[in-house]
């Protein structure tokens, strides 16, 4: 389509501004109690939305504990790996694809280095924490298989909320002994920006039923057009377009989602397309400002300053369910 110009602004919608439920608050309290027993923290973020899936609550929980930021789903993220390297000049990060056991070897090696020279009967205690559905349980299972060749220790799923309590320690290495706690995904208990809420919904880090699937699909279309204005990232379904109804109508025809009288099922098509994207069955995607080399630092400073202004020090927050 000659002359196609992608939108530069996404339309404003009235959206939920938080996804903070009972077991989130319980998990925060439990993590605070347990952190004194932890030697190393694996903070997990989604590589498709590395800024939106950073939770500032964890800063007050982790404190001065050693931490490695783990970016999961790197295989379906469109961000150049060098961007992550520029954000973490001290090397305190790791990119992983939890579908491939060897992908977590770097993380295992980091943990083994921390255990070197330690005199502990119980071994190195680690904790995995992160937002809902960023791949924490999948990471634990892959670490366990790679380090001990044992089967799954945690349930996994495509939607948020599979893990709701903190189980017992799971061994991910025999020699040296390294043990890990998996934790429930924890969302922000306070107001989330509308665009961030859309990002979290599109990657499944909130209850995806909170936002109309057509709005989610429109946001995904908007992001894909920003990434590649030729429409190539969805060309198997539609010509380049800014109109979500036009795209979904074409999608329905291509995927056979026509209802009675040949009418397209736009809502069902939207839900299916976004779900396929969440699972990595569509084009690689990114939702955050990855072109800005200072984006991570600037975003974190802005968010932390805002939270401190609105709610006081994070360590003093009273976490209430919205």
Residues 6 or more apart in contact with residue 20 via CB below 8 angstroms:
187, 188, 189, 319, 321, 322
Q: In whole angstroms, how far apart are CA 296 and each of 88, 133, 277, 303?
A: 9, 21, 24, 11
CATH of 194-278, one of 3.10.450, 1.10.1580, 1.20.1630, 2.60.98: 1.10.1580
Q: What is the pLDDT of residues 148-185, one digit of tens each?
A: 888 676 555 444 444 444 556 889 998 899 999 888 88
- More confidently predicted of 67 and 155: 67
Whether 22-189+291-313 shares its CATH topology with 194-278 is answered: no
Domain boundaries, the chain: 22-189+291-313, 194-278
| pTM score of the predicted model | 0.85
DSSP letter string, 209-257: GGS-HHHHHHHHHHHHHHH-TTSGGGTTT-SS-S-HHHHHHHHHHHHT-
- What is the C-alpha to C-alpha distance for residues 1 and 173, in angstroms, rounded to an integer? 54
Tokens of 160: 């948020």
Per-residue pLDDT, averaged over 64-86, amounts to 92
Average pLDDT over the chain reads 84
In this prediction, residue 95 carries a pLDDT of: 95
Instruction: Identify the band that residue 321 occupies on the pLDDT scale cut at 50, 70 and 90.
Output: very low
CATH topology of domain 22-189+291-313: Rossmann fold (3.40.50)
Dihedral of the CA atoms 217, 287, 41, 179 (nearest 10)? 50
């Amino acid at each position: 389509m000659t002359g196609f110009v992608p939108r530069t602004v996404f339309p404003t919608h009235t959206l939920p501004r938080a996804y903070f439920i009972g077991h989130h608050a319980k998990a925060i309290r439990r993590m605070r109690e347990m952190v004194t027993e932890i030697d190393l923290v694996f903070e997990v973020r989604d590589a498709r939305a590395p800024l939106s899936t950073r939770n500032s609550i964890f800063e007050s929980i982790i404190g001065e504990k050693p931490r490695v930021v783990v970016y999961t789903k790197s295989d379906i993220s469109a961000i150049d790996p060098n961007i992550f390297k520029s954000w973490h000049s001290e090397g305190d990060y790791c990119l992983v694809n939890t579908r491939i056991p060897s992908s977590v070897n770097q993380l295992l090696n980091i943990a083994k280095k921390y255990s070197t020279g330690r005199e502990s009967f119980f071994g190195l205690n680690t904790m995995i924490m992160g937002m809902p559905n960023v791949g924490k349980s999948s990471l634990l299972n892959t670490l366990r298989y790679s380090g001990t060749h044992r089967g799954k220790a945690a349930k996994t799923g495509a939607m948020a909320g599979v893990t709701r309590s903190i189980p017992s320690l799971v061994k991910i290495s025999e020699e040296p002994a390294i043990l890990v706690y998996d934790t429930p995904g924890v969302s922000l208990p306070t107001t989330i920006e509308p665009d961030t809420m859309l990002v979290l919904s599109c990657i499944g880090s909130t209850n995806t039923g909170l936002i109309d699937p057509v709005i989610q699909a429109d946001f995904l279309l908007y992001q894909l057009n920003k990434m590649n204005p030729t429409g190539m990232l969805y060309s198997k379904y539609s010509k380049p377009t800014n109109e979500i109804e036009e795209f979904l109508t074409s999608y329905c025809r291509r995927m056979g989602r026509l209802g009675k009288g040949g009418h397209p099922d736009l809502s069902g098509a939207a839900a299916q397309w976004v779900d396929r994207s969440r699972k990595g069955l569509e084009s690689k995607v990114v939702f955050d400002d990855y072109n800005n080399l200072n984006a991570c630092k600037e975003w974190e400073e802005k968010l932390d300053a805002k939270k401190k202004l609105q709610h006081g020090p994070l360590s003093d927050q009273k976490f209430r369910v919205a």
